[in-house]
Structure 1
Amino acid sequence: MTFPRIASFKNYTAFTHHLGNLPVPLPCAENVENGPDSPLAQSIQVHDFTIGNRFCILPMEGWDGTADGKPSELTRRRWHNFGRSGAKLIWGGEAVAVRHDGRANPNQLVINSKNLSDLESLRIELVTAHEAEFGTSADLVVGLQLTHAGRFAKPDCHERMQPRTAQRNSILDARCGITDDSAVVSDEDLTALIEDFISAAYLAEQAGFQFVDIKHCHGYLGHELLSGVNRPGKFGGNFENRTRFLREIVEGIRSQTSSLKIGVRVSVFDFLPFKQGTDGFGIPEKNGDPRLLFGGDTTGTGIDLYEPLKFLSLLESLGIKLVCTTAGSPYYNPHIQRPAFFPPSDGYQLPEDPLCGVSRQIQATAELKRHHPKLVLVGSGYSYLQEWLPHVSQEVIQRGWADSIGLGRMVLSYPELPADVLAGRTMPRKRICRTFSDCTTSARKGIVSGCYPLDPFYKKRDRNLSNSA
């Protein structure tokens, strides 16, 4: 099974001819406009914010914090680059654990009173870099993503999982080393964790962040609770119970903060966990349970947006206007979450053209936007488009399929992409992310994450170094 690389399409005609053969349509503008009147340069008004353009930097971790959860110089370099990118919405910077046992790795940032000044200085460095490049930060909006890693927690050691799960899941339990119910978070533990999220949000406001993202994606605890149909008690079973965690966090944040806004990044659909088949290509686990897939259909490899649409209605009723869409999980079905030509070390060979994965996320977000036009929706999954990213992004914005274009892996190698596109500058081919997946493979091996193939700074680093900065 082979698919053409993006770089092989030398012109618009060749690229769009290939797009026409995809099972899911993908729009593409022939010419990218630039300047203040261009579609991607238009501002967004939400709450009392002005977001100055249609580019957003998604949360990008480097597995490079200190043992006690403070940012290192590598963390600061990454946030500095976010600031100088030209994007006017920073969706959380990176995932920050609300307590130690919620860290996805022992170098993840943690928000607490001891680390508060460090997180504040991280935000200030980003804003200062933005002001130095663009003259003002009045139309820059910066949030902080709050998380608990749940079943994928590794707070103390890269080699040892310490999972805290929302419910049992036979396929994922086997991968996480779970053999009994002791890893399942009790209702009492969730009630305490809600207070931790509320406290973290209070601290985030003190550090100057304009909003917090209550993370509900990628298989982490918030996301797993959304699919907790088998969980007993007040946090599982029906939709009302499965969203109680979020509702109580939101209520608490509103009571403890003065002007902090709330956003949610959510996996709006999910597939069964995939594994390597006998030929190395990805195949779904045949014994997986489709009922445990939020936004998944009964086949286990299709989409049903009934509950995601219901979830967005809930967010609107809670006064939440900022939503970032994504899909699946990097741990068990990365091809639907971050389409890539080259799989990470713990992945599998491509079961489909990665453009199908890009289109799937874009189309799902468009459908959600059609039903919820008042929400500000940030889309994900664009990096694989490479040279054609601005072309597709412009068409998505012009059609009203999303409000903002989220950039993740791309900004590790080429942080200035938004500024260059808006100014009409040519994108340097040698800096465009080719989805080599080294940023993921390095992290899976306990090495700080970065773009080792394309970023000269990381090229000079020894990949055998530990996670120390």
Structure 2
Amino acid sequence: MGKIKYAKIASLKTASDLHKYLQKIHVSLPFDAKLKAGPDSPLNQPFQHAGKNIGNRFCVLPLEGWDCRPDGRPGELTKRRWKRFGLSGAKLIWGGEACAVSDDARGHPQQLIINETTVEEIAQLLHLLMSTHQQHFECSEDLFVGLQLSHAGRFCYPDGKHIKPHLVYHHPILDRRCGLRGYPTLRDDQVEKIIDDFIKAAHLAQQAGFDFVDIKHCHGYLGHEFLSAVLRPGKFGGSFQNRTRFLREIVLGIQKNVPRLEIGVRLSLFDFLPFGRGQNGIGRPEKISGEYPFAFGGDAAGLGIDLTETIRLLDLLENLNIHLICTSAGSPYYNHHIQRPAFYPPWDGYLPPEDPLKSVARLINITAELKKKRPHMIFIGAGYSYLQQWLPHVAQHVIGHGMADFVGLARAILPYPEIVADILHGKSLDKKRLCRTIGHCVTAARHQLPSGCYPLDPFYKSRPEYAKLRRIITSGK
């Protein structure tokens, strides 16, 4: 691959450096030069929702580890990760990790599954998280913890040997990339069975003790794909009413059968065309002729934003008495730079086609725009890990100015779970543990290795999988 000319975040030593660089690249990303700590910090303010006093404005986003047992039960590395969620100090835990609603809904064979045989051990995961938090912070009553319910859709790979997709519709680019042209699309009766799986999973999540469930609608997985099913015939495709039927029927089923369980939605607010490696390995969009109809929240060109249907979906959710929205964008499989801004690409990815700070700013500013338009909705922001030492400065400004309600962190938690507690207590960040978006966590997962921060977490660095991962990266295979 070629070299990129964007400035590394670590090189921006002062607020003046950051301000000048943002001006140079024409990016609007507000931040506070001076940080507040303790009770004066906007990030330390509690938030009231559903009768709970959520203790601060940090959220741990879903983090899979590709480390569960073949039957979907948590493994020892799963338990370590959930324990570290509790150690973080964040009071909102969004989903823990993507939890499949059935065996065939898994995106990989090491994914967590919720069913009658696993629910007790998933409840133990939750207890481990909460007891760890109680031990370190002397209070767990102000935690709000959910479980992300997921179906991988076209990316189902439950046995790790053969892709077994559940296609909502035939996508001309993604079908070609994944070799799916001969596969059938889901019948309506099969969709209805999946809806029942989500409702049953929600009941089990409540049984396990979770405060809420996330009906995952992001990243190209099943729920997200329904939102762009403009060419699908029948009651689950075509019109906006039909494309949101999958979500509505799950929500109404949960509200009927599990009425005390809160519901949230992790949503890709917008999408772009699929990208791939272009000249020198830099990402470039696929070429199309005519309009691109498959980008929910995107324009007809496939490279711009049109939030008309995103706002319409927010209104639908509010009418369903759902207010929790965890933001994201695009998909890690086909346009990872808009979803997971990074300086270094994953093994199977491409170099960023834009400065990652532009990608971060897009996520933050679109979330702020939606918060302004729909102030009664509760927005959890994303894209912050790339900011590294400037993360608290941007996060403080965002929360202090009402641009979002919570700041979500994922990759940053893997090497440095205490980053939240350190920010809230005004401590200097441990720069040796800051996520530098190297991408080894993703590359490991792509090769069915446990996903952790191999370069910066001594625990993973000492594991035998790291030698295998280094060989993969060196060989490019």
**TM-score, normalized by the shorter chain, greater than 0.5:** yes
Q: Into which bin does the TM-score normalised by the smaller protein fall?
A: over 0.9
The partner residue of 2:117 within 114, 117, 120 is 114
User: Once the 2 structures are TM-superposed, how far is the Cα of residue 162 of structure 1 from its aligned partner?
Assistant: 1.4
User: Once the 2 structures are TM-superposed, how far is the Cα of residue 292 of structure 1 from its aligned partner?
Assistant: 0.4
Q: Deviations over 1:237-266 (max 9, x none)?
A: 010000000110011101111410000000
Give identity over the alignment, percent: 55
Q: Deviations over 1:152-174 (max 9, x none)?
A: 111011x4321111111111001
Q: Give, in whole Å, the separation in 2 of the partners of 1:194 and 1:48.
A: 28
Q: Deviations over 1:147-203 (max 9, x none)?
A: 10001111011x432111111111100122112351x11111110100000000000
Q: Deviations over 1:346-395 (max 9, x none)?
A: 10112110001000000110111011101110011110000000000001
Match of 1:38 in 2: 41
Q: Give, in whole Å, the separation in 2 of the partners of 1:290 and 1:122.
A: 42
Q: Give, in whole Å, the separation in 2 of the partners of 1:384 and 1:436.
A: 10
Match of 2:212 in 1: 211
Match of 1:414 in 2: 416
Match of 1:48 in 2: 51
User: Once the 2 structures are TM-superposed, how far is the Cα of residue 281 of structure 1 from its aligned partner?
Assistant: 0.7
Matches within 5 A, 1:354-433: 354-433=356-435
Q: Give, in whole Å, the separation in 1 of the partners of 2:187 and 2:441.
A: 34
User: Once the 2 structures are TM-superposed, how far is the Cα of residue 213 of structure 1 from its aligned partner?
Assistant: 0.1
Q: Deviations over 1:47-92 (max 9, x none)?
A: 1121110100000000000000000010000000000100000000
Q: Give, in whole Å, the separation in 1 of the partners of 2:335 and 2:259.
A: 39
Match of 2:475 in 1: none
Q: Give, in whole Å, the separation in 2 of the partners of 1:65 and 1:218.
A: 21
Give the unaligned 5+ runs of structure 2. 470-477
Give the unaligned 5+ runs of structure 1. none
Answer whether contact 2:266 2:327 (CA < 8 A) is retained: yes
Q: Give, in whole Å, the separation in 2 of the partners of 1:314 and 1:65.
A: 35
Aligned in 2, Cα 1:352/1:146: closer, same or farther, shift over 3 Å? same
Aligned in 2, Cα 1:304/1:265: closer, same or farther, shift over 3 Å? same
Q: Give, in whole Å, the separation in 1 of the partners of 2:280 and 2:415.
A: 32
User: Once the 2 structures are TM-superposed, how far is the Cα of residue 465 of structure 1 from its aligned partner?
Assistant: 8.3
Q: What SS does the corresponding residue of 1:463 show, helix, strand or coil?
A: helix
Is 1:199 the equivalent of 2:200? yes
Answer whether contact 2:454 2:466 (CA < 8 A) is retained: no
Q: What SS does the corresponding residue of 2:147 show, helix, strand or coil?
A: strand
User: Once the 2 structures are TM-superposed, how far is the Cα of residue 466 of structure 1 from its aligned partner?
Assistant: 9.2
Matched to 1:13, the amino acid is: S
Answer whether contact 2:268 2:329 (CA < 8 A) is retained: yes
Answer whether contact 1:171 1:287 (CA < 8 A) is retained: no
Matched to 1:120, the amino acid is: A
Q: Give, in whole Å, the separation in 1 of the partners of 2:52 and 2:79.
A: 25
TM-score, with structure 2 as normaliser: 0.96
Is 1:231 the equivalent of 2:232? yes
Q: Give, in whole Å, the separation in 2 of the partners of 1:255 and 1:465.
A: 50
Greater alpha carbon shift after TM alignment, 425-434 vs 162-171: 162-171
Matches within 5 A, 1:95-174: 95-157=98-160, 159-174=161-176
User: Once the 2 structures are TM-superposed, how far is the Cα of residue 27 of structure 1 from its aligned partner?
Assistant: 0.5
The partner residue of 2:28 within 16, 25, 28 is 25
Matched to 2:241, the amino acid is: E
The partner residue of 1:302 within 301, 304, 307 is 304
Answer whether contact 1:151 1:164 (CA < 8 A) is retained: yes
User: Once the 2 structures are TM-superposed, how far is the Cα of residue 464 of structure 1 from its aligned partner?
Assistant: 6.2
Matched to 1:218, the amino acid is: H
Q: Give, in whole Å, the separation in 2 of the partners of 1:361 and 1:8.
A: 23
Match of 1:76 in 2: 79
The partner residue of 2:456 within 451, 454, 457 is 454
Matched to 1:270, the amino acid is: D
Matched to 2:104, the amino acid is: D
Q: Give, in whole Å, the separation in 2 of the partners of 1:22 and 1:396.
A: 21
User: Once the 2 structures are TM-superposed, how far is the Cα of residue 24 of structure 1 from its aligned partner?
Assistant: 3.6
Q: Deviations over 1:269-293 (max 9, x none)?
A: 0010001113211000012862101
Q: What SS does the corresponding residue of 1:356 show, helix, strand or coil?
A: helix
Matched to 1:53, the amino acid is: N
Matched to 1:330, the amino acid is: P
Q: Give, in whole Å, the separation in 2 of the partners of 1:326 and 1:165.
A: 22
Moved over 3 A (4+): 464-467
User: Once the 2 structures are TM-superposed, how far is the Cα of residue 268 of structure 1 from its aligned partner?
Assistant: 0.3
The partner residue of 1:338 within 332, 337, 340 is 340
The partner residue of 1:463 within 465, 468, 471 is 465
Answer whether contact 2:337 2:356 (CA < 8 A) is retained: yes
The partner residue of 1:9 within 7, 12, 31 is 12
